[in-house]
Amino acid sequence: MADPMKIRATLVGDSTEVKVLMSHEMETGQRKDAQGAVIPAWFIQNVTVTHGGTTVLAAQWGPAVSKNPFLSFKFKGGAKGDKVTIAWVDNRGDKRTDEATIA
């Protein structure tokens, strides 16, 4: 199973700044191993960030997003103590959901 994400959610003025690091290979499917065999593609395809049941960001990713992805954005309406939930699904169907408290 994948390692947990590292999520920071911070109230800045009237916006919540979300910064997240995800543990994922983001393999392109274009590299070869030492024996010359193609290493199959393996990457996160969908990322959904929710706050209070509402989606505040939805992303579709291809394998050109860097290994161990980083994402940062801001949304309005969060309050200290609220939870921000982030979920990803990769092309193998592996999933991971983590949450952080807005500080």
Partner 1 sequence: MRLACFAAAACVAFAFAASAQNSTTDGIAKYREALQEGNPAELWEARGEGLWKEPRGPNKVSLERCDLGLGAGVVKGAYAQLPKYFADADRVMDLETRLVWCMVKLQGISEADAKKNPFGNGNDKKSDIEALVAYVTSESRGVKMNVSVAHPKEMQMYRVGEKIFYFRAGPHDFGCVTCHGGDNQRIRLQDLPNLTKLEGAQKAYTTWPAYRVSQGELRTFQWRLNDCFRQQRFPELEFGSDASIALTMFLAKNANGAAFDAPAIKR
Partner 2 sequence: MKSGSGATLLALVAAAGWLRPDDASAQSWNKAAFDTKSMADTMKALGGGEPVQSKDIVFFQTPDIAENGAVVPVGITSNIPKTESIAVLIEKNPNMLAAVFDIPPGTEPSLSTRVKMGQSSNIYALVKADGKYYFAAKDVKVTLGGCGG
What do you get for the CA distance between the two ends of the chain, in Å?
A: 28
Confirm or reject binding of residue 73 to partner 2 (CB under 8 A): yes
Closest CB to partner 2 among 9 and 56? Answer: 56
Q: Hey, CA dihedral for 71, 74, 75, 81, is it positive or negative?
A: positive
Among 9, 71, 84, 100, binds partner 2 (CB under 8 A): 71
Q: Are 92 and 68 in contact (CB under 8 A)?
A: no
Rule CB under 8 A: which residues touch partner 2? Answer: 15, 26, 28, 30, 45-46, 48, 54-67, 69-77, 89, 91
